[in-house]
Chains A and B, each alone.
Chain A
Amino acid sequence: MVAIASREIRDGDLVFVGMRLPILAYAVARNSHAPSARGLFEVGLMRDQPASGFLGTMGDPPNVAGALWATRMSNAMALLAQGSVDLGFIGGAEVDRFGNLNTSYVGDPSRPKVKLPGSGGGADIAILSRRWVTLMSHERRRLVERVSFITSPGYGDGTPAWRKRNGLLGGGPVAIITTLCVLRFPETGGEAFLDSVHPGHTVDEVLAETGWPLQVSDAVSETSAPTKAELTAIRQFDPDGFWTGASR
C-alpha cells in the first residue's frame, strides 16, 4: 500500500501528508520519482527531505530538524485554504461508492454503535486540497453503499457537480487504495470503479469484499508490484516494520 500510495505523488507536488502510512509514502516518493515534492504537516511543518529518523507521528523530533518551516497550524491551513495543496492523504474507517469518508460515528451519532476518533485534519484535506487519496483495509464492513456519517466529503450523493454546488473548493478524491486493489474515480467525479487488483488477489475477491455493486473498468489490470527502489526506501524509513510489519 505504501509503494502504491507513493506513486500518487507527482514530482513538484505540495503534499498534505497526514499520519501513519502516508508519512512513509512521502519518504518513498521523495527517494524515487518525486525528488522535488514538498510535504506539509498540519502540526505546523513543511519539509523537503524526508526525516532521517523513524517517525511514529508527524510531530516527532526527526521531522522537525531540518524542516523548511516550523510554524502554527493555522499557517499550514492557510496554504490549504488557498488551494495550494496539490495532494492530500486521508485514512478511512468507512468509505462509500462516492468516496465519502466516515471517521466519526458508526450508527446514530447521538447513540453511536462505534465512536471513531474524528476528523483530525481529514475533513479539511477532503474539502480544500486539489486532489486526495484514501488508504484503507479492504473489508465489506468498511466499503459500504453509503456511509452513515460524512466526516470528509467525497462526491456527496454522487449527482453531477455536487461539490461545486455545495461550495467545496478542492477537486475531490482521485483514488481509494485498499489492501486488495486500487479504486479510481472518473475525472468529473462521481462513483468509484475498480482500476487494478494487487498481485495475489482477484476481481471476484474484491467484489465479494465490497458493500456495493462495484463497477469494474474494461481496462482493469494487475497493480504493479513494488519496485526494488520502493522496497529499499520502505526498509530505510521503517527499519523495524512498525508500520509495514506483519503485525500491523
Chain B
Amino acid sequence: MAEAIERFVPDGATVAMGVALEPLIPFAAGHELIRRRRRDLELVGPISDMLFDQLIGAGCVSRVTAAWVGNVSEGLGHCYRRACEAGVPRAIEVHDHSNFSISLALWAAAWNVPSLPTRTLLGSDIVRTNPNLSVRDSLVEVKAVRPDVAIVHVQRADELGRVHAWGPLGVTEEAGLAADRVIVTCEELVDASVTLSDPNRILFPETKVVAVVHEPGGAHPSPVQGHFKRDHSFYRDYGERSRTEEGFRAWLDEWVLGVQDRAAYMRRIDVQSLRIATHRPSVPADFGYE
C-alpha cells in the first residue's frame, strides 16, 4: 500500500474515492495518504461517508468536488465544517455537485468531451456557485472532471489488474474510465482463472489499473458485500469525537497516525462480529462456446 500511494498519488493530485457511495470505501488507502502527509489533493466523489472528512481534517486537501461530504448515518462532517467555515486546519475550495451531475462530469471525462448536458440542477443555486456548471437552452452543461487517479476497494482482483466487484457500483465505472490510472485494494487476491471466468464482472480495462494491493478489511468501517457488515458504531464514535478539533486529533492519532498499517489497524477491530457469516453465492454464468 505504501508503495502504491508513494508512486501513484503525488501532492496536488486529483483523487476519486468512495465512488461506490456507502459500500467499498477505500479507507485503508485514504489513511495511507494521511500517513504519507499528502498535501493539496483535490478529492472527487459523489457522497463521502466520513473518509473525505478525515482527509480534510488531516490537512491533505485543497479542493473538494463532490455532491455531499459528511457522515451518512450521523450527519454533519465536522472537519469539513471547520475547513469551510474557519479555514481549520486550512481553507478549502468546494465545487458542489449533485450525485447525478458528478456522475455526468466523470462520464464526460471518460468519453473525452468537454461537457455533457442534463436537466438536473435547473433552478438550483449549485449552478450559480460551481464554475464548472452553467445553464444553456434550459439544460445544465456539466464540465468534465478528470481524476489523475481513482482508488477503489473491491471483493477480488488478480495481480494483473482484472477487478471484480459486486453489489451497487455508484459511479465506480465512470470514475475508473475517467481517471488517468486506477489503484485497486482488494479483500481477495485471486488467480486470473477466477477473474477471467466472468469477464462481465470486470470493472475496468486492465490497462487503467496501475497497482493492486491485497488489503483485507481495507474498507472498514464501510461494508463489503459477502465479507464485512458496516460498523455503525465506528461511524457514531468518529462523529462524536470529531466534533472538536482536539477530539479529531486524538482520533487520528489513535486510528491513523499511531497505526503502522492496515494489518495493525485490523488487530484492534472486533473482526469476528463484523464478518459476514452466511454466504449467498450467485449461480455462475455459462461462457461455453463450442
Contacts and interface: CB of A to CB of B under 8 A. Distances in A.
Interface of A: 19-20, 41-45, 56-61, 64-65, 70-74, 77, 80-81, 104, 109, 112-124, 126-128, 149-153, 156, 162-163, 166-169, 242
B76 interface: yes
The 3 closest A-B pairs by CB, nearest first: A59-B22, A44-B168, A117-B70
Contacts of A56: 72-73, 230, 232, 235
A78 B222 CA distance: 26
Given A57-B22, A77-B100, A121-B67, A64 B49 contact: no
26 contacts: A41-B168, A56-B232, A57-B22, A59-B21, A59-B222, A60-B223, A60-B229, A61-B226, A72-B170, A73-B46, A73-B171, A77-B99, A109-B125, A113-B85, A115-B80, A117-B69, A117-B70, A117-B75, A118-B66, A118-B67, A119-B126, A120-B47, A122-B98, A123-B121, A162-B123, A166-B123
B123 A72 contact: no
Interface of B: 20-23, 46-47, 49, 66-70, 72-73, 75-77, 80-81, 84-85, 94, 96-101, 103-104, 107, 118-126, 129, 138-139, 166-174, 222-223, 225-226, 229-230, 232, 235, 276, 280
B68 A118 contact: yes
B168 A119 contact: no
A57 B169 contact: no
Given A117-B68, A117-B80, A166-B138, 18 more contacts: A41-B168, A58-B21, A61-B226, A64-B225, A72-B170, A73-B21, A73-B169, A73-B171, A81-B118, A113-B85, A119-B97, A120-B99, A124-B99, A126-B124, A127-B121, A153-B123, A156-B123, A167-B122
A123 B139 CA distance: 15
A132 B208 CA distance: 40
A119 B225 contact: no
A243 to B, nearest CB: 9
Contacts of A117: 68-70, 75-77, 80
Contact of B103 (A20, A74, A104, A115): A74
Q: Is the interface of A mostly helix, strand, loop or mixed?
A: loop
B100 A43 contact: no
B170 A43 contact: yes
Contacts of A44: 21, 168-170
A167 to B, nearest CB: 4
A218 B96 CA distance: 41
A19 B23 CA distance: 14
A109 B172 CA distance: 29
Given A59-B20, A121-B98, A81 B167 contact: no
A194 B279 CA distance: 49
Contacts of A115: 80-81, 84-85, 94
Nearest to A104: B96
B168 A64 contact: yes
Nearest to A66: B280
A121 B99 contact: yes
Nearest to B221: A56
B92 to A, nearest CB: 10
A171 to B, nearest CB: 13
Contact of B122 (A64, A114, A127): A127
Contacts of B107: 74
Contacts of A73: 21, 46, 99-100, 103, 168-171
Contacts of B223: 59-61
Nearest to A147: B125
Given A61-B276, A151-B125, A119 B167 contact: no
B232 A104 contact: no
Given A127-B123, A149-B125, A42 B99 contact: yes
B125 A150 contact: yes
A19 B100 contact: no
- Residue of A72, A77, A123, A168 contacting most chain B CB atoms (<10 Å): A123
Given A59-B21, A60-B223, A109-B129, A168 B170 contact: no
Contacts of B69: 117-118
Nearest to A57: B22
A158 to B, nearest CB: 13
A57 B20 contact: no
A156 B126 CA distance: 14
Given A73-B46, A119-B124, A152-B124, A61 B22 contact: no
B86 to A, nearest CB: 10
Nearest to A53: B229
A121 B173 contact: no
Nearest to A42: B99
Nearest to B276: A61
Contacts of A70: 166-169
B23 A151 contact: no
A114 B81 CA distance: 7
